[in-house]
Amino acid sequence: MAGGPPAGGGAPRAAALLGIAGTVVVCHGSARAADVASGIALAAHLWRRRATDLVSALLDGDAATDRTDRSTDTEVRT
C-alpha cells in the first residue's frame, strides 16, 4: 500500500500529518528516491480518499461523512 514499509523491510519513511488543513506528507531526512515516491503515492492516496475531510468530520462528530472515492483504484504501487 502507498506509504507502507520499504520493500526491503523496516519502518515507513513517510507519514501523514494531522491537524492541518489539507493533505501533507513528510518523509524522513534520510529518505531515498523510492521512499519519496512512496510519500508522493501516499499523499495522492489520501487525497483521493478525502482523508482530511473524513478525519475532520469524525472529529466534529458528523456521522454523515462523504466517503466518495475520487478514483477507481484503491492504492498506488511504487
The pTM of this model reads 0.64
Model confidence pLDDT, tens digit, residues 19-45: 678 888 888 888 889 888 888 988 998
| For range 42-58, the mean pLDDT | 88
Query: Please, are residues 53 and 68 in contact by the beta-carbon 8 Å criterion?
Result: no
Q: Which tops the pLDDT comparison, 42 or 78?
A: 42
Residue listed under C-alpha cell 473524513: 54
Domain boundaries, the chain: 14-60
Angle (CA) 58 61 62, round 5°: 80
